Amino acid sequence: MTCCDIWEVFDEPNNLIKEYKYWKLLVRKNNTKLGSCVAVTKRHLEALSEITPEEMQEFAQVVKEVEKSAKTAFNYDKINYLMLMMKDKHTHFHIFPRYNTERNFAGIKWLDEGGNDPLIQKRDELSQEVLNQIKEELKKNL
């Protein structure tokens, strides 16, 4: 098994929402879209083609749960999933709830900038306190 720093990159000790048998769901440190998460395989895989049918089946459960939770918590309008792996060579999906109108949460005004591109957003780094509030809101709605 190849070692990587994926758990440090996403700060798993502070940002874990839920651990599954094959996946971990974490709040994204760079939470540019309210409720952004990342789903990471627990096994180190460098290609999606290495995933087992059991891992893929469980990913379907992760998707259902995160969509339900984010919809209840933040009432997103649509949701985007991206698997880019440009820097982190460990299979993971970025999950971006998207909004047509402004949201207010944790004393912050959230605007979904960037049109169709979920990666475009100008936002200062959020404190761990705000990330914890997002994480707890998602956890309570799982």
User: Does 116 map to a domain?
Assistant: no
Query: What is the residue type of 89?
Result: K
User: Does 137 map to a domain?
Assistant: no
User: Does 130 map to a domain?
Assistant: no
Contact 42, 111 (CB under 8 A): no
Residue 2 has pLDDT above 60, yes or no: no
Task: Give the model confidence (pLDDT) of 90-109 as tens digits.
Answer: 899 999 999 999 999 999 99
Indicate the pLDDT class of residue 1, thresholds 50, 70 and 90.
Answer: very low
CA atoms lying within 13 Å on the CB side of residue 130: 20
Compute the radius of gyration of the chain from its Cα atoms: 15
Higher pLDDT residue, 140 or 114? 140
Contact 26, 37 (CB under 8 A): yes
User: Does 126 map to a domain?
Assistant: no
Task: Check which CATH number belongs to the domain holding 103 and give it.
Answer: 3.30.428.10
Residue 59 has pLDDT above 70, yes or no: yes
Total structural domains in the chain? 1
Q: Please, what is the average pLDDT of the chain?
A: 91
The residue segments making up the domain with residue 89 are: 6-110
The 3-class secondary structure across 15-52, one letter per residue, is: HEEEECCCEEEEECCCCCCCCCEEEEECCCCCCHHHCC
User: Does 20 map to a domain?
Assistant: yes
- The pLDDT assigned to 112 comes to 87
- The pLDDT assigned to 85 comes to 72
pTM: 0.92
User: Does 139 map to a domain?
Assistant: no
User: Does 58 map to a domain?
Assistant: yes
Of 5-9, 59-63, 75-79, 83-87, which gets the smallest average pLDDT? 83-87
User: Does 75 map to a domain?
Assistant: yes
Main-chain dihedrals φ then ψ at residue 71, nearest 5 degrees = -65, -45
Contact 98, 118 (CB under 8 A): yes
- The pLDDT assigned to 119 comes to 63
